[in-house]
Amino acid sequence: MNKPPFSISNYMLSKTISITEKLGRITSYNSLKRMPTLRRNNKIKSIHSSLVIEANSLSLNQVRDVIAGKQVIGPQKEIQEVKNAFQAYNMIKDFDGYSEKDLLKAHETLLYLIEEDAGKYRDHGEGVFNGEKIIFVAPPANMVPSLMCDLFDWLKNDNDTHVLIKSCVFHYEFVFIHPFGDGNGRVVRLWQNVLLTKWDPLFEYIPLESQIQKYQAEYYQTISLCHSEGRSDKFVEFMLRMIDEVLDEVIENVSKEATNISEQVNRLLDIMEPDIPLSANEIMRRLGIKSKETLRNTYLTPAIENGLIKMTIPDKPNSKNQRYVK
C-alpha cells in the first residue's frame, strides 16, 4: 500500500473533533430526516455550486426548474449537466466510495450525452494553463490506471486515518492524477460526498460544494500550493475548514426549520413508521386523541404542508379509504 504524502496536524485533529460535535448537534434537532424541503434545497445547492465551479452559467432557480422537469431556456449542454448531476447525487448512497468501478460509473453518469469517453480514464496528456503558460502537468495517461488503483488501495486499507481526513487526501490526490479528460472536479466533489455519507448519512444533505464555491479562488490556490510542496497537508486543512464552516450554516437552517415543526407534528411522526400507510382512526388511537378536528388541524394538515407526510389518495382528501404515509 503506497500512502500518499501527508502528515496529520493538530489543526486537522481539532477540526475533526469540531465537525463531529456539530454533526451531533444536527442529530439532536431530530436531524434532517424530518426536513424534506431543507434536504432537497441543500442537494440542489450542492449541484448548482459544483457546476458553477465548472463554468456552468445556469442560475440556482434554473437548476431547480430543470430538476423539477420544467422547460428552461439555456445551453443544452448545461441543462444536460444538471440532469446528469441530479441523477448522480441521487445515487450517493448506492455508490461504494471504496470501489474504483463505482467511481467510473459516477463519471459515466455525470458526463452522459456530453463526452464520448464518459466512464473511461483519459488516453491523452493533460495540463493546467495560465494563458499560454503551463503551470501544471498531470501524470502521463499510461500511469493513470495504476495511480488510481494505488489510491483506492490506500483508501480501502488505511484504517488508522480518520475518514474526514482520508476523504480530503483522496480529493487532492484525485485532482493531482487528473484521471479523466473532463469532469474531474465534478466527480471528486461528488466522491468526497460519497465517502463522507458512508461515514455519516447526514453528509448526503450537507452542501459542501456551495462552501467550496464561496472560496473557489482559495480552493485552486491551495491545490497549486500543494502541487509545489508535493504533499496535501494544506489542502486537507482547507477542506476540513470548509466542512466545519458549512456545518455552522446547516445548524442555523436546521434550527430555523425545527421551530416550524410543532410538538404535535413531532409526536405524529414518532408514532408513524416509514412507508406504512395508516388510517385517521389508527393515528388517533396511537396518539390517544378522540377529536378528528384536532387530528386534522393540529397534526395532519401542518405535517402535510411541511412535506413530512403524504396522503395516499391526494385528489380525494375526504375518501373513506384515505391513508397517511411518512
Compute the C-alpha angle 32/239/219, nearest 5°: 120
* Segment-wise mean pLDDT, segments of 10 residues, the chain, 326 residues: 95 98 84 76 96 96 95 97 98 98 98 97 89 87 98 97 98 98 97 97 95 96 96 98 97 80 86 93 96 93 88 94 95
pLDDT, position 306: 81
pLDDT, position 31: 63
pLDDT, position 33: 67
What would the grid cell of residue 224 be?
Answer: 497549486
Q: Where are the beta strands (DSSP E) in the chain?
A: 127-130, 133-137, 310-311, 324-325
Whole-angstrom distance, CA of residue 99 vs CA of residue 152: 7
pLDDT, position 253: 86
Per this entry, what is the length of the chain? 326
The SS3 assignment for 321 reads coil
pLDDT, position 1: 78
Do residues 271 and 308 lie in contact, with contact meaning Cβ atoms separated by under 8 Å? no
What domains, with CATH codes, occur in the chain? Answer: 10-259 (1.10.3290.10), 263-325 (1.10.10)
